[in-house]
Structure 1
Amino acid sequence: MNSREDLKTTPVDPRFPTQNQTQHCWTRYNEWALCLKKNDDDEDVCKSARSYAKSLCPGSWIEKWDGERDEGNFSGVQK
């Protein structure tokens, strides 16, 4: 996985104009999960999507959602 030094801020997304970025975080995480699903879990192909999610979301949320995906009980995009 990327180190914190490799993270880049996600591009401006007009779907999320407010200061509260919770929905933006959720959407970016699910875009990453969807990328993995469409690309046979190829982490390299989906590296930028993961970076965008990590730049927006608290680390504890990413860890929680990663664990839920591994356990098969994530409420977003399924494996």
Structure 2
Amino acid sequence: MSDVIEEKLKNYRTAPFDARFPNTNQTRNCFQNYLDFHRCNKALSAKDQDTAPCEWYHRVYKSLCPISWIQKWDEQMEAGSFPGKI
């Protein structure tokens, strides 16, 4: 299983098509992948499991989201004022 994930991460170029977000505007896709990454890390860390599968979400939101948004969200998470449910 992990070999398949590692292979996909090696061949990763940009965010693939996501049927949940068919429109040109990918703002919601960006935000959802940011949330999914942090939820995945939180869930797997709580179970003391490897968080490598979460890297997929990290790469996707890094390719979709503007850097300024990511920095703002990271600052909000540190301050405890992030609006999303993680």
Instruction: Report the aligned-residue RMSD.
Output: 1.9
**Rg comparison, structure with higher value:** 2
- Residue of structure 1 in register with 2:5 after alignment: none
1:10-31 per-position Cα deviation (integer Å, ceiling 9, x unaligned): 2210111111111111111111
Q: Which has the higher helix share?
A: 2
Q: Report percent identity of matched pairs.
A: 40
Contact 1:39 1:45 in 2 (8 A): no
- Residue of structure 1 in register with 2:25 after alignment: 20
Structure 2: which 5+ residue stretches go unaligned? Answer: 1-11
Give the TM-score taking structure 2 as reference length: 0.72
Give the TM-score taking structure 1 as reference length: 0.78
Displacement, 1:8? 3.3
Aligned residue runs from structure 1 range 1-79, under 5 A: 8-40=13-45, 44-78=52-86
SS of match in other structure, 1:39: helix
